[in-house]
Structure 1
Amino acid sequence: MIRMKSTRNFIIFLCPTLVLFFLYYSSGRLHLRTSVQKSQPDLDSLLSTGRVLASEYDKQGFLTKLDGKLPLELQYKYANLSKGECKPGYAQAKMTSIYPKFSKPAPMFLDSNFKRLSKISNYPPPFGVKTQEKIIDIILATTKSYSLGPELDSLSCMKCIIIGNGGILFNKSLGSKIDEYDVVIRLNEGPVRGFEKDVGSKTTMRITYPEGAIQKPERYEKDSLFVFSAFKAVDFKWLRQIVVKEKLRRMEGFWKSVARVVPREAEHMRILNPYFIQEAAFKFIGLPHNNGLMGRGNIPTLGTVAITMALHSCDEVAVAGFGYDMNTPRAPLHYYEKLMMSAIKESWTHNISKEKEFLRKLVKGGVIRDLTNGI
C-alpha cells in the first residue's frame, strides 16, 4: 500500500515536470528555427518590409558603402588576367556584389518567343508589350533576326561602351579609345561624321525611338543595327511601317516630327527588350510605379536604359558623354551643337537627379567605367 502510494506521488511529480520540459524544449526549438531563418534572409523580402539594416543597404537594395574594390573571390578570379584583357562575367559579378537582387537572364532583343517573357507581358509600353503582341509578331516575322550577329555572338568575352550625347565629350579626343570596344552603342541622333576624334567612328547599334531617330537618311552609318525602343503604343505602328517600307500615314500621337525613312533592311532592325525600361525605372532608380503606366517622372532616359541592357549582356561596361552639370549653364549641352546647358528644362517624364544617383552607384561600385568622368 505504501509502495503504491509512493509510486503515485512519483507519477504526480513526473507529469508536470515532463510538461514543463516539453514546453521549454518546444520554445527553444521554435526560437532556434526562427533564428536560423533570420540568419539566411531573402533580401528582397526583407527590403520590402524594411527589416534590412539601413546602414547596409539602401531602399532600392544597393550597398550603402561603395568603394569600387573587388570582393576577395573576384580578386582571385581575375588576378591572372593581363592588363586590358577582357574579364568574363565582370559586370554581372560587380553588379551582384553591390546589388544582391540582380539577376542576369534577360534577352537583349525581342524574338519570336517574346510572349513567354512574363516580366513584360503584364505591362503596356513603355514597360512591356501588353496590347501590342500582334503588331510585334508582324514586325519580327519581317526582321527574322534577333541577335547582335554571328561575329559578336561568338565572342567569349565582350566589352561594351555606351556613348551619351553630352557636351562633356567635346574635345576629349576619346575616339580611338572608344573604337577599341567590341560593341559601341549610340543613342538617338548623336552624329559620328565630323566628330570622329572625340566620339570614334565605330557604331555597333543605335538605340532610338520615333521622335529621337535620325531624320536625314544620309546621316546614318552604313553598318549598324537600328535598335528600336518603344515608349508608347503608337511607336510600334511607326516601326511596322518603317520595317515594311510602307509610306507613313497618320502622324498623330508623337510629340514632335519623326523620321519617315530609316535606311536599313529589315534584318538589321531589332526591338529592345522593354524589361530594361521596367527594371531601370522601378528596381534600380525607384521611380513611381503608377500601376505600370507612363506617368510624371517615371521614365528613365534612354542612356540609362542602354546601360541597364549592357549590364545583362556585356562582360565589361563603360560609358562616355554622360552627365549634365547644371552648375555650368554656359557649357555645351551636346557635343555636336552650340546649345547651352541652361537650355535644359524640367522634364515631365524623367527624374534626372534620382537617375544620376543610380548611375553614381554603378561608377562608385566599379560596375561601369566612366571615361569622361561626368557622372
Structure 2
Amino acid sequence: MRTMKPTRSLMLVLCPTLVLGFLYYSSGRLHLRTLGQKSLYDKQGFLIKLDGKLPLELQYKYGNLSKGECKPGYSEAKMTSIYPKFVKPVPMFLEPNFKRLAKISSYPPPFGIKTQEKIIDVILAETKNYGLGPELDSLSCKRCIIIGNGGILSNKSLGSKIDEYDVVIRLNEAPVSGFEKDVGSKTTMRITYPEGAIQKPERYEKTSLFVFSAFKPLDFRWLRQMVFKEKLRGTEGFWKSVARSVPREPEDMRILNPYFIEEAAFRFIGLPYNNGLMGRGNIPTLGTVAITMALHNCDEVAVAGFGYDMSSPRAPLHYYEKLRMSAIKESWTHNILKEKDFLRKLVTAGVIQDLTNGI
C-alpha cells in the first residue's frame, strides 16, 4: 500500500497556521510579562508596595552620613525609586528664558504661561532676581520645610525645630507673629495668589520672598500692579477681596514656575485633565504645589501642619483662628481625598517627613 504524501495545498495551509500560532503564543507570553511589570505600579506610575526602607544603592550612598547631616539628592533619589518617571531639575521660579520651558508653554494659567508671555516679560525685567538669593543658592545641600496652616500645629512646640531648616516655606496669609512657639519665626518665602495674600502691610515679614502663584490670567495683571506699586484697578473676577499693595521691593518678588501645578495635578495626583484648563476638582492645593516644587529643588523635604481630620468636627481647622473642622465644605476646585492619597505615598515611602503626622 502506498503512503499518501501531504499535498502542496495542505502545506500551504499548515505553515501559516503554525507561524500564526507561534506568534500568538509568544505575544501572549509577552503580554503577560508586560502586565506583570505594570502591576508593580499604579496608574499614576507610583510603586504600589511602599515602605520607608532605603533601596540597597541608597543605603550605600547615605549609610555613612552622620545623624542629622544633610543628605545631598536624598528626596530626588527616594522619589525616583517609587516614581521612575520623576524628572529633575525644574527651576523653582520663572526667569527671563522661561519661554524655552516647553511643558508650560502649551497651557494657559494655572498650568502654564500661554497668553501671558508679554506681561511676564515686563514683570521679570523689573524684579531682576530669579533665585533664593546668593547664600541659599550656593548651598550644596538644602533642607526645606513647607508649613501648612492646619490646626494640628497647635501646641506641638515645633517652632525651634522648624527654624533649623535652611528654607522655610509658608502659604498665603498664615501668621507667624504670636505663634512662634508652634510655627517658628523664620520665613524664607511665602507662596500666595491674589485672594490668599496678606492684606495688612504690617503683617508682612521684612526679609522673606514674596512668591506669586497664578491660577488665572487676571492674577498676572494684579501682580504687575503690585510690582510697579500702581493703584489697584479692576478687581472684578476675583472670588474674594485681594491685597491692594504688597510691601516688598521688586527684587524680593518671584513668580512660581507653573510646571509644579501641572505636574502635581495631572502626573502625581491624577486630577481631570479638562483640556489643560481649570475645571471642577482639577486644581491641587497650594500646599501640594509647594511640596512638588521642593521635591525638584531641595535635598531633603519635610512638612508640618498638613492634614484635615474630618472625624473630629470640633478640632481647630487652622492654628491661628477658632474656625472648626466642620466648617470645611466640599471644594469645587480641589480633590482632597485624591491629594491626601498622593501625599500619603510620599510619607510612607520616606520621600518627605511629616513632623505633625497629619497626613
Q: Which amino acid aligns with 1:204?
A: T
Could you tell me which residue of structure 2 aligns to residue 358 of structure 1?
Answer: 342
Q: How does 1:241-252 map to 2 (within 5 A)?
A: 241-252=225-236
Pick the structure with greater CA Rg.
1
Residue-by-residue CA offset, 1:268-294 (whole Å, 9 max, x unaligned): 000000000000000000000000000
Residue-by-residue CA offset, 1:300-342 (whole Å, 9 max, x unaligned): 0000000000000000000000000000000000000111001
Q: How does 1:195-234 map to 2 (within 5 A)?
A: 195-234=179-218
Q: How far apart are 1:54 and its partner, in Å?
A: 5.8
Q: How does 1:121-200 map to 2 (within 5 A)?
A: 121-200=105-184
Q: Which amino acid aligns with 1:234?
A: L
- What CA distance in whole angstroms lies between the structure 2 residues aligned with 1:66 and 1:168? 25
Matched, 1:288 2:272: yes
Could you tell me which residue of structure 1 aligns to residue 41 of structure 2?
Answer: 57
Secondary structure, aligned partner of 2:331: coil
- What CA distance in whole angstroms lies between the structure 1 residues aligned with 2:85 and 2:196? 32
Secondary structure, aligned partner of 1:198: helix
Q: How far apart are 1:104 and its partner, in Å?
A: 1.1
Secondary structure, aligned partner of 1:355: helix
Q: Which amino acid aligns with 1:354?
A: K
Matched, 1:68 2:61: no
Q: How does 1:4-83 map to 2 (within 5 A)?
A: 51=35, 53=37, 55-83=39-67
Matched, 1:310 2:310: no
- What CA distance in whole angstroms lies between the structure 2 residues aligned with 1:268 and 1:292? 30
Q: How far apart are 1:209 and its partner, in Å?
A: 0.1
- What CA distance in whole angstroms lies between the structure 1 residues aligned with 2:329 and 2:38? 34
Cα separation, partners in 2 of 1:262 and 1:63, compared to 1, 3 Å: same
- What CA distance in whole angstroms lies between the structure 2 residues aligned with 1:119 and 1:54? 26
Q: Which amino acid aligns with 2:83?
A: Y
- What CA distance in whole angstroms lies between the structure 1 residues aligned with 2:106 and 2:141? 33
Secondary structure, aligned partner of 1:161: strand
Residue-by-residue CA offset, 1:212-261 (whole Å, 9 max, x unaligned): 00000100111010000000000000000000001111111100000011
Secondary structure, aligned partner of 1:211: helix
Q: How far apart are 1:31 and its partner, in Å?
A: 6.0
Secondary structure, aligned partner of 2:146: strand
- What CA distance in whole angstroms lies between the structure 1 residues aligned with 2:201 and 2:306? 26
- What CA distance in whole angstroms lies between the structure 1 residues aligned with 2:254 and 2:214? 11
TM-score by length of 2: 0.92
Cα separation, partners in 2 of 1:79 and 1:337, compared to 1, 3 Å: same
Secondary structure, aligned partner of 1:362: helix
Could you tell me which residue of structure 2 aligns to residue 265 of structure 1?
Answer: 249
Cα separation, partners in 2 of 1:239 and 1:38, compared to 1, 3 Å: farther
Q: Which amino acid aligns with 1:371?
A: L
- CA-based RMSD of the aligned residues comes to 2.4
Q: How far apart are 1:38 and its partner, in Å?
A: 9.8
Secondary structure, aligned partner of 1:318: strand
Q: How far apart are 1:105 and its partner, in Å?
A: 2.1
- What CA distance in whole angstroms lies between the structure 1 residues aligned with 2:32 and 2:292? 31
Matched, 1:278 2:267: no
Pick from 286, 306, 314: which aligns with 1:322?
Answer: 306
Task: Indicate the percent of aligned positions where both proteins have the same amino acid.
Answer: 82
> How many pairs were matched up?
347
Q: Which amino acid aligns with 1:332?
A: P
Secondary structure, aligned partner of 2:160: helix
- What CA distance in whole angstroms lies between the structure 1 residues aligned with 2:315 and 2:285? 21
- What CA distance in whole angstroms lies between the structure 2 residues aligned with 1:131 and 1:308? 24
- What CA distance in whole angstroms lies between the structure 1 residues aligned with 2:198 and 2:155? 23
- What CA distance in whole angstroms lies between the structure 2 residues aligned with 1:312 and 1:52? 30
Q: How far apart are 1:267 and its partner, in Å?
A: 0.3
Residue-by-residue CA offset, 1:98-125 (whole Å, 9 max, x unaligned): 1111111211000000000000001000
Secondary structure, aligned partner of 2:337: helix
Matched, 1:118 2:118: no
Q: Which runs of 5+ in 2 are unaligned?
A: 1-10
Q: Which stretches of structure 1, 4 residues or more, deviate above 2 A after TM superposition?
A: 51-55
Q: Which amino acid aligns with 1:83?
A: K
Q: How far apart are 1:176 and its partner, in Å?
A: 0.3
- What CA distance in whole angstroms lies between the structure 1 residues aligned with 2:189 and 2:214? 16
Q: Which amino acid aligns with 1:237?
A: R
